[in-house]
Amino acid sequence: MNPSPRIPGFRFLHSPGPTRVPDEVVHAMSRQPMDLADPRVDALIDVCEHGLKKLLQTERATVFMYSANGHGAWEAVIANLVAPGQMVLVAGTGHFSESWALQAEALGSRVVRTPCVEGTPINAAAVEAALRDDVRHEIVAVFAVHTDTASGLTSDLQAVRAAIDAAAHPALFVVDVVASLGAAPFDMDAVGANVVLGASQKGLMVPPGLAFVAVDEAAMAVARGNPTSRFYWDWTLRKSALGYRKFCGTPPLNLLMGLEAALGLISQEGLAAVWLRHQRLAGAVHAAVQCWSEGGAVQFFCRVPQARSVSVTTVLTGPGVDPEAIRSVARERFQVAMAGGLGPIAGRVFRIGHLGDINPAMILGCLAGVEAAMSVLGVPYGPGGIERAIASLVQD
């Protein structure tokens, strides 16, 4: 068989994860692993733990990292906090909240869900009502996905915190920042989250395979009292000064080298500047999609403009417009790789990722590639999306 032909230039990666890995991170990861007694191992783990805490804006939480993906971090949270038969409340946002709920059920939790209304963020009033209904305080934790990557929307975490407080419910507040950390503003301590979880391959710009949780004292106390059998995920076992214990075995050294480099890049640029860059680039994507939608064939999946994510834009296609065809022409002919729909919205949307190591030229190239693909397929999109994207970037 012929090897696949070389792609001249490079293919634009606009999946919302894995995202593009900066050269500095690739180079950092190409170093040799060290033996575990080498003091550089502990120093590396230390830098990553401190960098993550800084990024999460927490002084009070302990960071645990895993050789795992985001689903591993979900499992860590469930295994440590929820004994089989106990209850969690999952705030509906879309495919990711539902997948987390199903994973909790598979591990024996009882799950209360607030309704998931397509294209809308967390309904904080529904969270408050569900907590008030739980008069016996059986709900151990509220699980909230900050940015639902399938729906392309970001929820207001302060409103969820306020709902828990208004219900005077003792449930822990657990937040998934897999798709928002390093892209959208987030402050663990200010938002009063007890546990936060994330993964390497989205806003953190590191290849997949490294997950983490940040856990405060209240959540550690719940974990200590939880009799569920567990070992690999166990926070109390991992709370140690020894690297080997922290990772329940060999740490994923090269991913940690990559994370160290990525955290360095974020810190060099400045967190506020990173957030502003994401907001500007998302603004350009939203301007183009708004323009395209005027042709009637495509529209925003997220129906609440303020909730549109700075990480990913989900575009809903109308009858007779196949999002998979748009993706495949964009990728194969124009070298723009986007993501498709997940769960119940598979085959109805395409998703443009715009987080991580991205600049205006890349966004304009991506949008032009998508427009070109829609032209090839005769999709009646409102013309002038690129001009609107440029106007949005110029005015910022």
Ligand X SMILES: *Cc1c(COP(=O)(O)O)cnc(C)c1O
CA dihedral 226→229→231→233, nearest 10 degrees, is: -60
What is the distance between the alpha carbons of residues 391 and 386, in angstroms, rounded to a whole number? 8
Distance CA 112, CA 55 (A): 31
**Distance between CA 131 and CA 149 in Å, rounded?**
26
User: Tokens 């804006």 label which residue?
Assistant: 57
For residue 179, state whether it binds ligand X (rule: CB under 6 A): yes
Is 349 a binder of ligand X (CB under 6 A)? no
Query: Pick from 62, 69, 228, 290: which binds ligand X (CB under 6 A)?
Result: 69
CB of 299 to ligand X, least distance (A): 22
Single out the segment in contact with ligand X by CB under 6 A; choices: 102-110, 113-121, 174-182, 283-291. Answer: 174-182
Task: Tell me how far apart the alpha carbons of residues 22 and 28 are, in angstroms, rounded to a whole number.
Answer: 10
Judged by CB under 6 A, does residue 342 bind ligand X?
Answer: no
Residue nearest to ligand X (CB): 70
Of the pair 208, 360, the CB lying nearest ligand X is at 208
How far apart CA 368 and CA 239 sit, in angstroms, is 49
Query: Rounded to the nearest whole angstrom, what is the least distance from the CB of residue 101 to ligand X in the complex?
Result: 12
Q: Does 203 bind ligand X (CB under 6 A)?
A: no
CB of 179 to ligand X, least distance (A): 4
How is residue 182 written in tokens?
């390093």
Taking CB under 6 A as the binding criterion, the range among 64-72, 107-115, 187-195, 227-235 that sits at the site for ligand X is: 64-72
CB atoms within 10 A of CB 347: 11
Among 178, 288, 349, 366, binds ligand X (CB under 6 A): 178
Determine, following the binding rule CB under 6 A, whether residue 96 of this chain makes contact with ligand X: yes
Least Cβ distance, residue 147 to ligand X (angstroms): 6
Residue 111 binds ligand X, judged by CB under 6 A: no
Polymer length of the chain: 396
Residue 93 touches ligand X, criterion: CB under 6 A: no
Question: What is the spatial distance between Cα 267 and Cα 255, in angstroms, rounded to a whole number?
Answer: 18
State the virtual CA torsion across 46, 49, 53, 59 in degrees, nearest 10. -60
Binding of residue 94 to ligand X (CB under 6 A)? no
Of the candidate residues 104, 140, 181, 199, the single one contacting ligand X (CB under 6 A): 199
144 binds ligand X (CB under 6 A): no
DSSP string, 252-270: -HHHHHHHHHHHHHHHHH-
Size of the site for ligand X (CB under 6 A): 13
Tell me how far apart the alpha carbons of residues 227 and 217 are, in angstroms, rounded to a whole number: 18
Q: How many other C-beta atoms can be found within 10 angstroms of the C-beta atom of residue 125?
A: 12
**Residue 145 engages ligand X in binding (rule: CB under 6 A):** yes
Q: Which of residues 208-227 bind ligand X (CB under 6 A)?
A: 208
101 binds ligand X (CB under 6 A): no
Angstrom distance (rounded) from CA 101 to CA 90: 6
17 binds ligand X (CB under 6 A): yes
Q: Does 175 bind ligand X (CB under 6 A)?
A: no
- The C-alpha atoms of residue 211 and residue 208 are separated, in whole angstroms, by 8
Q: Which is nearer to ligand X, 71 or 303 (CB)?
A: 71
Which residues of the shown chain bind ligand X in the complex (CB under 6 A)? 17, 69-71, 96, 145, 147, 149, 176, 178-179, 199, 208
